[in-house]
Chains A and B, each alone.
Chain A
Amino acid sequence: MRKYTPKDSVQKQAYFTDRFFVSPPVPRFNPNSDEIFAKDFEEINYSINVQEAFIEHTHLVIIIDKSFLISCIKLLKEKLEYDMLMELSAIDYLATRDGYEIFYEFLSLSKHKRIRIKCFLQKDESLESVTSLFKSANWSEREMYDMLGVKVVNHPNLKRLIMPDDWYDHPLKKTYPLQGDEAASWYEVDKIFGKEARSIIGPEQRDPAAIDRYDTTRFARLGHEVPFDTDISEFEPETNISYQEENTSKIMKKLKPEESVVLKRRR
């Protein structure tokens, strides 16, 4: 059977993959293989239903159900001394699993250990905010909502953080193109000049590498110069170009090597 590829993902794909190529998984270890993690895991497992737990790259990863999230984070903070929430965000699995995976990255200053709590969130569900426990979640959750569209409840100020308030869609979704979608290309035109100016200005080009062959105002046409802002879409006038060589190299001639000093290094 052919491998499933999400049809609406617009992210870059590998253009060739060997038929028999299989990427090896990152090694995962039993949480009991580390002394401190074994204790933490036991404590968490005692009060919370853990779906999966393993040590990956010296991090203890614990996957739990969304309903246990707050009690688990409370336990980590108050009992297990994981006193800093370093990072929190979501991973877009909308195409394959119809939801997001949320991860929380904790650090314990006293134990020198890092722990990652993960839970899965269905597309139409919302997530409980942890701002009351860790204030660093305030902006991280706002960013997660802004970038991926994960709804967070009980957040003190759930507004877009990075994109403008009236932006359409969430840019980090796999279905959102890198150069921005249709709404993005009209956003600034509409905002500044109004919708009626669309036909005059045209959509915004967000590809930084885009070059318009017929644009004579922004691009130099070396060897085929035409006067500024000439319309060349139908007819390209031939411009005779000549350079004056006599008066150009005078400045350099004035500097005589025997009279000038060449610095070997900066002083």
Chain B
Amino acid sequence: MQQPNRLKPFFENIHFEREDNTMMVNFGPQHPSAHGQLRLILELQGEEVVKSRPMIGYLHRGMEKMAENMMYNEFLPTTDRMDYIAATSNNYGYALAIEKLLGVEAPRRAEIIRTMLLELNRIVSHLFWLATHALDVGAMSMFLYCFREREYAMDLIEDYCGARLTHSAVRIGGVPLDLPSNWIEDCASFLEILEKELHTYEGLLTENRIWKMRLENVGVITPSMAKSWGCSGIVLRGSGIKWDLRKEMPYGIYSELDFDVPISDTCDSYGRYKICIAEIRESGKILKQLVPMYEESDTQLMAHAPNYISAPKEQIMTQNYSLMQHFVLVTQGMRPPVGEVYVATESPKGELGYFVVSDGSPYTYRMKLRTPSFQHTALLEELLVGCQLADVVTIIGNLNIVFGEIDR
């Protein structure tokens, strides 16, 4: 008999000793391969998984609740903490949703800088994924190599906004700063290094016998399964469905950019690995295209919408009315139009959606955060059934789940 009131592990009605031949295994929530606080209750028949129950909630901070108690600008830094591997994509999705609600459009230069940060973040996120995934599978050296290049990309972002992980570098209505001098050159040299190192990664992994044996035909997601479970991003493209929101439903300046959407028909983990490498290349390609666009653009960085967005700093410090408006916006917050908006962007993990209900007050009436990893974790309920225990870690790592955005 369990005594839940004492300092003892308490298992909610799980019978570990069973009459039939299966065995229950508790995986997580503190397992290093769980990529955060994922708890899995696995029922095993020998080495084979018969049933899996993912459990989440160990990193729940109640962001939707917080959003209802914060002004629109106040909430922006909180979005960093959702997918903390690629914070800019969260900031951007949020800023874009609120801009849509306000009917404001960010100036062109701001949009270009945002896209640069987004793609840089995509590279960071994919490198991080490759590093930790390879580490899970057993390739320790990949972890070191990928983290080295990730560090360079983080340096670039640090140069721009001063933060490395949770950079609220995107604001509602634009970006606060222009690129520092020399940033473009640094970025170009980073892309050169990255291109060279990508060959190293591929040389180490793509034809590696162990890597292929661990990944091929592991975690097969059929197209109908991917659609039904609401998968997005690499998981959807890995199932042979060519769907990238940047291409199919473009936002920002993505319609002007030239890039490919890599897909894979194998539906397995190995295919998703190949897509990831290809996507890093595509992001590099986008970054190179953005440089001439940046140089041609006008210097305005924040949208002009005095009812909602504070004036530039110089104007606040020199003109009384701008200062008053700034004061009201900071203390009372902006009051957007009454209505609802759902804006989805392609984050490195998949479709990141913000559903915002505004009742015209400075606080959101309801905010629902649609995060890709949430649905990908739900998928584990079906995906893990029938696979070997050793493949569980491969599959979890391969789905690229981040717990900050699952529990929110």
Q: How large is the interface on B (under 10, 10 to 19, 20 to 34, 35 or more residues)?
A: 35 or more
Interface hit among A38-46, A131-139, A215-223, A242-250: A131-139
Known: A134-B230, A164-B57, A193-B7. Is A86-B370 also a contact (CB below 8 A)? yes
A222-236, CB under 8 A of B: which get 1 and which 0? 000000000000000
Of B70, B338, B366, which one neighbours A25 at CB under 8 angstroms? B338
Closest B residue to A147 by beta carbon equals: B64
Distance, CA A177 to CA B154, complexed state (A): 38
What's the minimum C-beta distance from B362 to chain A, rounded to whole angstroms?
5
Q: Is B368 an interface residue, CB under 8 A from the partner?
A: yes
What's the minimum C-beta distance from A140 to chain B, rounded to whole angstroms?
8
B86-111, CB under 8 A of A: which get 1 and which 0? 00000000000000110000000000
Of B57, B333, B377, which one neighbours A14 at CB under 8 angstroms? B333
**Residues of A55-87 contacting chain B, CB below 8 A:** 56-57, 59, 61, 83-87
What's the minimum C-beta distance from A54 to chain B, rounded to whole angstroms?
10
Closest B residue to A197 by beta carbon equals: B5
Distance, CA A192 to CA B216, complexed state (A): 45
Q: Is A89 an interface residue, CB under 8 A from the partner?
A: yes
Q: Are B337 and A24 in contact (CB under 8 A)?
A: yes
Q: Is B243 an interface residue, CB under 8 A from the partner?
A: yes
Q: Are B4 and A191 in contact (CB under 8 A)?
A: yes
Known: A139-B375, A161-B56, A165-B12. Is A91-B357 also a contact (CB below 8 A)? yes
Question: A84: which B residues are within 8 A, CB to CB?
Answer: 227, 230
Distance, CA A25 to CA B339, complexed state (A): 6
Distance, CA A12 to CA B333, complexed state (A): 12
Question: A23: which B residues are within 8 A, CB to CB?
Answer: 335-338, 358-361
Known: A13-B361, A56-B340. Is A112-B249 also a contact (CB below 8 A)? yes
Question: A28: which B residues are within 8 A, CB to CB?
Answer: 339
Question: B335: which A residues are within 8 A, CB to CB?
Answer: 14, 21, 23
Known: A109-B243, A116-B342. Is A87-B355 also a contact (CB below 8 A)? yes
Question: A114: which B residues are within 8 A, CB to CB?
Answer: 342, 344
What's the minimum C-beta distance from B15 to chain A, rounded to whole angstroms?
16
Distance, CA A178 to CA B370, complexed state (A): 21
Q: Are A14 and B60 in contact (CB under 8 A)?
A: no
B1-35, CB under 8 A of A: which get 1 and which 0? 00011110010100000000000000000000000
Q: Are B241 and A109 in contact (CB under 8 A)?
A: yes
What's the minimum C-beta distance from A131 to chain B, rounded to whole angstroms?
10
Q: What is the predominant secondary structure among interface residues of chain A facing chain B?
A: loop
Q: Is B72 an interface residue, CB under 8 A from the partner?
A: no
Closest A residue to B357 by beta carbon equals: A91
Q: Is B143 an interface residue, CB under 8 A from the partner?
A: no
Of B6, B69, B343, B375, which one neighbours A178 at CB under 8 angstroms? B69
Known: A112-B249, A139-B374. Is A91-B7 also a contact (CB below 8 A)? no
A92-106, CB under 8 A of B: which get 1 and which 0? 100000000001010
**Residues of B336-389 contacting chain A, CB below 8 A:** 336-344, 351, 353, 355, 357-363, 365-366, 368, 370, 374-375, 377-378, 381-382
Q: Is A172 an interface residue, CB under 8 A from the partner?
A: yes
What's the minimum C-beta distance from B249 to chain A, rounded to whole angstroms?
6
Q: Are A171 and B5 in contact (CB under 8 A)?
A: no
Distance, CA A235 to CA B168, complexed state (A): 45
Question: B229: which A residues are within 8 A, CB to CB?
Answer: 135-136
B318-348, CB under 8 A of A: which get 1 and which 0? 0000000000000011011111111110000
Question: B181: which A residues are within 8 A, CB to CB?
Answer: none
17 A-B pairs besides A26-B339, A86-B232 with CB distance below 8 A are A13-B361, A23-B360, A24-B338, A25-B339, A56-B341, A59-B342, A61-B340, A116-B342, A135-B230, A135-B378, A136-B229, A138-B378, A139-B378, A163-B60, A171-B65, A178-B65, A194-B6
A-B contact pairs, 8 of them (CB 8 A): A11-B69, A24-B337, A26-B340, A91-B365, A109-B248, A135-B225, A161-B56, A178-B69
- Ranked nearest first, the 6 interchain pairs of A and B with the lowest CB-CB distance are A26-B339, A23-B360, A136-B230, A162-B57, A139-B378, A194-B5
Q: Give B contacts to A, CB under 8 Å.
A: 4-7, 10, 12, 56-57, 60, 62, 64-66, 68-70, 100-101, 155, 225, 227-230, 232, 241, 243, 248-249, 332-333, 335-344, 351, 353, 355, 357-363, 365-366, 368, 370, 374-375, 377-378, 381-382, 407
